[in-house]
Amino acid sequence: MTEDRLQLIHQRLLHAAKQDDEALLDEVFEEADNLAEENAGEFDINHRDGLGNTALHYVVKNTSVGVLDAILSYDNTDVDPQNRIEGDTPLHLLMRADGMDRRAREYFLTELIDAGVNFQVKNNHNQKPFDVLSRVDDSNDWIETVYKESQIQRVLEDEDVVDDDDIADDSEASNSDSEDKEE
């Protein structure tokens, strides 16, 4: 009975992602919490269907803007799952989504970047996400700009910025070195 219940919850998760159904997704998460409290099974936000697609794949495929944040913020969400057929990640799907509204596409890209998506994952055809990006004209140039800006921001956040305390520590260290030499 528990496995049937868990399977149903996972099916509902994928359905909520496909239909951009926030209310259904809330119900799924509530049911997942109930399962955990009852020790009746383990909900998997990264559950895959027969094709290897996860809820995040379907969110991107169906432009499910309403449920994107909830899925990305759920514990243990894998932002780089690869499906079985093509080995595509949700980012690969987004790069191919030329028909998606630009504002939605930019929002998805920004959210995936913030969630730590990996631009280096190769699909079954040895293609990284940028390799599948349509370059017929310059209409997708903004995607590379958003990516580059995010990488610059990441570097700036990772750098150890020198502050007054660092300078004081350095000068104290050099003063003690000078005193040691004088003795």
Digit-coded pLDDT (tens) for 8-64: 999 999 999 999 999 999 999 999 999 989 888 899 999 999 999 999 999 999 999
What tokens does 55 get?
Answer: 């809820």
Widest Cα–Cα separation across the chain: 80
pLDDT in tens, 67-116: 999 999 999 999 999 999 999 999 999 999 988 988 999 999 999 999 99
Q: Does domain 2-170 have CATH number 3.30.1330.90?
A: no
Rg over CA atoms, the chain? 23
Strands (E), 16-80: none
Distance CA 70, CA 29 (A): 10
- 20's torsion region: left (phi>0), alpha (psi -120 to 50) or beta? left
The whole model's pTM is what?
Answer: 0.79
Distance CA 22, CA 118 (A): 26
Given a contact cutoff of 8 angstroms between Cβ atoms, the answer to whether 163 and 123 are in contact is: no
